[in-house]
Structure 1
Amino acid sequence: MSPSPGLKGSSHYLYNDSVATQWLPGVETMEYNQELPESQSEPSLTEDSFRLHMVTWNVATRAPPDDVTPLLHLNSRRRPDLYVIGLQEVYSRPARFVSDMIYGDNWSTQFTSALKELQCELLSSIRMQGLLLLFFSKLEHIPFIRDIEATYTRTGLCGFWGNKGGVSVRLSFYGHTLCFLNCHLAAHMDYVAKRVDEFKYIVKRQTFNCKKAPKITDHRFVFWFGDLNFRIHDISRHDVSTNIKDKNYQELWRHDQLIMMMKKEKLRQEKNKCRKKFLKDFEEGSLDFQPSYKFDCNTDNYDTSIKMRKPAWTDRILWRIRPKVPTHDEQDGNCPCPEDEKIAQFQEEEKYPVKVTQEFYTSIMEYNISDHKPVVSIFTLEMKKMC
C-alpha cells in the first residue's frame, strides 16, 4: 500500500487532503432522558476520575438533525469532562468540501453550539474528506491539556484516496497521554482481512512529534472507534433477524468478525510471543444492543432493498490501556525490551496507575436519517494527576 503523509496542524484546503484545526481559548437501549436504573448506578467521581463521552456515527452524507440531545446526553445529571465525536461519510463533494473549509461544516457547528451551553470548548478537529473527528473539553480542564496534535492516514485506492482510512487526535491530559483514532475501514462481508490490514497500516503509519508517545500504541490510553465495517458471518439473515428480535445478542457474538479476529490473533500470539499484537490488547464492552447497520433511511427497518444486507455491529468503540512493562522474570529472551525507556515507563505505571470503566454502550435508535444508527459510549477514566 502506498504511504500517505500525516498532517499535523496545517490548513491545506484540498479535496483529497485533510484539515486539522487546533486551538486553545484563553484560558441495553434506553431513552436518553431516563435515569440509569439502580443496578447500573454510576459511581461517584473522585478528583482523579474523569467522565468521557464518545460518539461514532456514519451519517451517510446527510445534514445534522436539529436536536443532538440524545447523542450527547445533555439532560444527564452528571456532565462529562470530555466529549469525542467521530463521524464518517460527512458530505464532501468538492464544492461543499471547500465551503466547509472556509465557513465550517454543519456537523461541527451543531455540536459546538450544543456543547457551548455546557461550558465545553472545541479544542481540536481534523477532517479527511468524509471522516471528521472532534475533541471537546470542559473549560476547567483546558489549562491541563497540552501537546494536542492531529494526523490522518488514507487507505482508499491503495492509500491515495481519503474516503477510507483513519484520523486521530492525541494529547496530554493532566500528564497522561491519550489518543483517539476514528476509522472508516473497507466495506463488504468478505473483506475482513483487509479491514485488519488497514487498521494495522494506520497504526504503524501515524506518528506524532511527542518524545513520550511518538506512535499510537505508545499512548497510555487509546480509543479506537468508527465505522469499522466488521460484519456478522456464517449465519443466515433470517437467523440474525430472529436473534435480534429475541434480543439474543450473545448468539450473534460468535459470528461477529471483529470478535473472531481478536480471538484468532490471541491464539497466534500465544504460539509466538514475539508476534506483534494489534487487536488483542483492545477491549470492548458487551454488544447488548441492536446492531447499528444497515437500515432503510428514514425508517427503523433493516435493509429491505434487493441486496437485503444482514444487520451488523459495524460501528464500534474500543479502548486500550498501554500494557504494563513485564518484569525481568516475565520477559522473553527472544523479545528484549529497551531498558531506559522501559524503566521510565515502569516507574510511571507504579506511581500513576490508571483504570478505564465503561459505564454505557449502546446504539441510539431515535435517529433514522442514515442507514447507520449512532453508537454512544460513556467511560470513567481513573488517573492520578501528574500535573
Structure 2
Amino acid sequence: MGEKHIILPRLITSKLSQRQKLCGHRNVAEISGVVDETLGKRPLDGQNDMLRYRVFTSTWNVGGMTPSSDLDLEDWLDSRANSYDIYVLGFQEIVPLNARNVLGPRNSCISTKWNSLIGEALHKRRGAAEMHPEITNSSAMERSAQEDHFRCIMSKQMVGIFMSVWVRSNLRPYIHHLNVSCVGSGIMGYLGNKGSVSIRFVLHETSFCFVCCHLASGGKQGDVLLRNFDAADILIRTRFPGGATQELPKKILDHDQVVLLGDLNYRISLEEAETRLLVEDKNWSILLENDQLLLEFSTGQHFDGWQEGLITFSPTYKYHPNSDQYYWCFDGALGKKKRAPAWCDRILWRGKGLKQIQYDTCNYRLSDHRPVRAVFHAECDIRGDADCACGCITLSSSSD
C-alpha cells in the first residue's frame, strides 16, 4: 500500500518526522513465558550492591464495565502467593468512551472502586500471627505485618485509562521522586480517550517507568500506522521533572527499567475468512506469524530495544462478555462488532537488570478483553553503606 494515499487528519507533518526519527526497531526477543528464577549478577562500579524484587504487572481493558462490589481479584493478582513486592496495574476503558466522559469532568468514583477492590484482594489473608505461629516477640510480629501490608503509592486516571501502583509498606521509605505524566492522543490528537498514563519512581538508586497505553483502534488498512504513531508520540511527549538537586530521567526511555503495558490494539494481518478458520482450529502459531505488533518488531523500524515474552496464550480480544466464546463466533452478534480475535493486550519491557519470569493471561469474564499479566525480577542498585530493612535479597557485586 502507498502511504501517500492514507490520510491521517490528526497527525501533523512535523510530528511525523519526529516519530520516524524516534522509532528504530529490532526483532522481539523470544524468551519463554516462565524461566529460571535465578538471576545473573551484573558488574557494578564502586561499592554498590544489588537488591532483587519481584514486580507484578498487568493490563486489563474492562470495556466500560463497572465492577460489582463483591468482585474477587485474588486470582488475577495471585495475592494468595504473597510473593510480590510491587504491583503495577493498568486499566483501559474504566468508563465508557462517550462524549460526556471524554469532554466532561473526570468521574473518579469508578477508579476509587477499583482501588478499593485491589486493596481488598491484596489484604485478604490471615493475620501475621496466624500465618507465622513461630513469631513470639512484638517487633518481629510488627515487621511481618508490614511485609504483608501493601500501600497504594500512586494512582492516576485520564478518562478511561487508569493506573495504580502498590508496594509493600516496608519498601515505601526507599522509593523517591515519584511522578506521573499523562499524554492524550485521541480525538484531534490530544484528547484522552486514547493515550497514556506513565508513573515513574526511583527505588534505591534505580529508576523505573511504567507506561499504561491505549492506542488507536481499528482493523482497517493503515490503522496499524496510527498505532505506531501513537506509541512514538507517547515516547516523545511524556515528560517528568528533572529534579532540583539530582539529575533525574525526564523521558520514558531515559529510565533504567521500563515496562509498557496496555491495550495496544494491534490486530492480525490476514483475511477475515482465513483468520476465522485459524481461530476455530486454535492455530495460534500461524496467527502469531501475522500479528501486527510482531511484524512491526521484525521490520526493524519500530520498538527498538523493547522485548516481549513468548506468547503462549489465546487471543485476548474480542470475547462475548461473561463468556469464553469469541464475539465473532456468536451467530447473533451484530455485524459491525464481529471483530476478529487478536492479541490486543500486551506487555513490553526494556532495561538492564529487568528479567521477565512469567507472561500469561487470566480468565476473568467481566469485559470483552482478558487481562494479561507479566512478572519480573528487578535488580536495584544500592549504595554499599545503605541500611536496608526491607527483607529483600542482597546480591553483592563481589559475588561470583
Instruction: Summarize the alignment of residues 361-376 of structure 1 with structure 2, pairs less than 5 Å apart.
Output: 361-365=359-363, 367-376=364-373
What residue is the counterpart of 1:43 in the other structure? 37
Superposition pairs for residues 321-360 of structure 1, below 5 Å? 321=351, 354-360=352-358
Structure 1 position 316 matched with structure 2 position 346: yes
The C-alpha deviation readout for 1:315-367, integer Å capped at 9, x for no partner, is 0001011xxxxxxxxxxxxxxxxxxxxxxxxxxxxxxxx422222111212x1
**CA separation of 1:122 and 1:167: change in aligned 2, threshold 3 A:** same
Q: 1:106 to 1:40 in 2, by over 3 A?
A: same
SS at match of 2:260: strand
Which amino acid is 1:119 matched to? H
For residue 108 of structure 1, give the secondary structure of its aligned residue in structure 2. helix
Partner of 1:301: 325
| Cα distance, 1:248 vs structure 2 | 3.6
Partners of 1:381 and 1:81 lie apart in 2 by 10
Question: Residues 254 and 151 (structure 1 numbering): CA distance in 2 closer, same or farther, change over 3 Å?
Answer: same
Match of 1:207 in 2: 239
Q: Counterparts of 1:143-222 in structure 2 under 5 Å?
A: 143-190=173-220, 191-210=223-242, 211-222=247-258
Whether 1:108 aligns to 2:111 is no
Of the structure 1 ranges 356-365 and 289-298, higher mean CA displacement relative to structure 2 is found in 356-365
Which residue of 1 is the match for residue 306 of structure 2? 282
Distance 1:185 1:40, change over 3 A: closer
Partners of 1:203 and 1:255 lie apart in 2 by 25
Answer whether contact 1:156 1:165 (CA < 8 A) is retained: yes
Could you tell me which residue of structure 2 aligns to residue 89 of structure 1? 93
2:94 alignment partner, SS class: coil
Partner of 1:328: none
Deviations 1:171-207 (A, max 9, x none): 0011101000000011011310100101111110011
The one-character-per-residue Cα deviations of 1:215-272 (angstroms, maximum 9, x if unpaired) are: 11100111111000000112445x44554555542222210001111111x1x5xxxx
Distance 2:313 2:254 in 1: 32
- What is the one-letter code of the residue matched to 1:79? S
Q: Give yes or no for contact 1:244–1:290 (8 Å, CA) kept in 2.
A: no
Once the two structures are superposed, residues 17-46 of structure 1 have per-residue CA deviations (whole angstroms, 9 ceiling, x without a partner) of xxxxxxxxxxxxxxxxxxxxxx95863689
Relative to structure 2, which stretch is displaced further, 134-143 or 111-120? 111-120
**Alignment partners' CA distance in 2, 1:122 and 1:106:** 13
CA contact (8 A) 2:111 2:157 kept: no
Whether 1:382 aligns to 2:389 is no
| Length, aligned pairs only | 306
Distance in 2 between residues matched to 1:355 and 1:54, nearest whole Å: 16
Q: Partners in 2 of 1:155 and 1:40 — Cα distance?
A: 34
**Counterparts of 1:185 and 1:151 in 2: how far apart (Å)?**
16
Q: Which residue of 1 aligns with 2:16?
A: none
Q: Match of 1:158, SS? A: helix
Tell me the equivalent position of 2:286.
251
Distance 1:152 1:232 in 2: 29
For 2:354 and 2:370, locate their aligned partners in 1 and report how far apart those are by CA, in whole Å. 25
Q: RCO (CA 8 Å, sep 6+): is it higher in 1 or 2?
A: 2
Of 262, 268, 292, the residue aligned with 2:297 is 262
Aligned match of 1:27: none
Q: Secondary structure at the match of 1:222?
A: strand
The 1:53/1:124 distance shift into structure 2, 3 A limit, reads: same
Q: Take 2:178 and 2:11, find their aligned partners in 1: how far apart are those partners?
A: 27
RMSD: 2.7
User: How far apart, CA to CA, are the structure 2 residues paired with 1:99 and 1:261?
Assistant: 34
Higher Rg: 2
CA 1:247–1:361: 2 relative to 1, 3 Å: farther
TM-score normalized by the length of structure 1: 0.73
Aligned-pair CA distance for 1:378: 1.0
| CA distance, structure 2, for counterparts of residue 376 and residue 80 of structure 1 | 13
Counterpart CA distance in 2 for 1:49 and 1:67 is 29
Unpaired segments ≥5 residues, structure 2? 1-9, 13-32, 42-49, 125-147, 387-400
In structure 2, how many angstroms separate the alpha carbons of the residues matched to 1:298 and 1:112? Answer: 24
Tell me if structure 1 keeps the 8 A contact 2:362–2:370. yes
Tell me the TM-score normalised to structure 2 length. Answer: 0.70
Counterpart for residue 230 of structure 1: 266
SS in 2 for 1:362: strand
